[in-house]
Amino acid sequence: MKKILSYLRDFVRRPRFVWELTVGLAFSVLALWFNESRGGESVWIDGSATQTARLLKYLALYGAAFGGGYGLQMIFYPQEKGLRDARLWLGVGVAVVLFSVRAWFQPYPLIRDHISPEYQTIVWKYLYNGGGLVLLGIPTLFFWLLSRDFRRMPLYGFSIRNASLRPYFVLLALMLIPLLWAAQQPDFQEMYPRAAHLDLPPGGPHNTLLTAIYETVYSLDYVVTEFFFRGFLILHFARFAGEKVVLPMCMFYVVIHFDKPIAEAVSSFFGGMILGVLSLRTGSIYGGIIVHLGIALLMEALGIL
């Protein structure tokens, strides 16, 4: 635990950290206000007239967040040559396109005419959450190979060489207190547990099995998200920008939480920063998986209670 605290202490003591934090939070607040003022992502993006328009809006949103984060770092650190490296900006483009396609993916038309109405919701959730592996996880694996990162590091954080996992369970236990508070909020109770929104037929013979499969696929999506944000977006880009990779990742991470309760969306900035620093220092995402997935499952459990 002392080592984790030392990683975080060293990071916040950097000369321009206060500027990074202030601007990052300002961006996050403005982005969340923008989203709320337009009725939420389900309205101003998913309500687009065409699927092409939806995709373009996702590209613009994620490009502004992630690319804008690196643009801010170029202002903060004008002498940093790595921030102007074409390979860094190629990676930015790849990351934005991959996550935009992942968010844009809409499986409902695939099942509308082939699945019974009472099972369409759960099949949709299977396909959507499983789409993270197919549309995000596997392409990121290919990028690791094509960029030759495999010669420099294990697969974007799937390493335990420099990481001790016990402190992450302590962090997860500490998170129980704010989660208990969040669980009392109306917007939390409307969203969790996610398994309560599967629209399965009452008394269906396979409801328990189908729900268990859903929770498994739902959990897998968190692993893929951690792999992408704390693995790829930290460990690949660190070779060009070092500790400056954390702010752009946090800004990107906030805007993917537009459909979550506001408290969860705001806290994602700080949670992303902590997990990003730890991934950067240890070269491992296993701790982040423990915390991220653990919090998700705790929210499910608290929602049930």
Residues 171-230 have pLDDT tens digits of 788 878 877 877 777 777 777 777 777 788 777 778 889 888 988 998 999 999 999 999
Confirm if 210 and 123 have CB atoms less than 8 A apart. no
What proportions of the chain, in percent to the nearest 5, are helix, strand and coil? 80, 0, 20
- Determine the structural domain holding residue 146 and report its residue range: 2-304
User: Are the CB atoms for 38 and 32 separated by under 8 Å?
Assistant: no
Alpha-carbon distance of 57 to 104, in angstroms, equals 9
Residue 235, pLDDT score: 96
In 3D space, the residue among 288, 256, 274, 248 whose CA is nearest the CA of residue 67 turns out to be: 248
**Mean of pLDDT values over 139-160:** 91
What confidence score (pLDDT) does residue 297 get? Answer: 84
Domain count of the fold of the chain? 1
pLDDT at 179: 79
Is 44 or 261 the better-scoring residue by pLDDT?
44
